[in-house]
């Protein structure tokens, strides 16, 4: 799983039949604290109704297909949760 921030929405009027009805977001991966951008933005299917500006949890690869309940769906990333808070214990 990854932490990311939704930075935009992608609209495609013509898309693969298994993606019809899916909301597609543009996400920016973040570091483990959910603060610093890490890597390049990419697109992800939104399974939870996240909005622009929200931090989210997402899965990639086969987990992304399982998250949309369709192993034949051509997705590589799926948003599976909206983050409310991140708490990290400091290790000395």
Could you read off the pLDDT tens digit of each residue along the chain, which spans 92 residues?
Answer: 999 999 999 999 898 888 888 899 999 999 988 889 999 999 999 999 999 999 999 999 888 888 877 777 789 999 999 999 999 888 77
Domain ranges of the chain: 2-73
Sign, CA torsion 37/39/42/48 = negative
| Residue 35 CB coordination number (10 Å) | 12
Q: Which CATH superfamily is domain 2-73 in?
A: EutN/Ccml (2.40.50.220)
- The C-alpha atoms of residue 24 and residue 11 are separated, in whole angstroms, by 7
């Amino acid at each position: 799983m990854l932490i990311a921030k939704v930075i935009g929405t992608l609209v495609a009027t013509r898309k693969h039949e298994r993606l019809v009805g899916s909301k597609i977001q543009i996400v920016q991966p973040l570091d483990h604290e959910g603060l610093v951008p890490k890597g390049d933005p990419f697109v992800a299917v939104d399974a939870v109704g996240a909005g622009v500006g929200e931090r989210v949890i997402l899965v990639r690869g086969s987990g992304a297909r399982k998250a949309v309940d369709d192993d034949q769906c051509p997705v590589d990333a799926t948003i599976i949760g909206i983050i409310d808070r991140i708490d990290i214990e400091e290790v000395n």
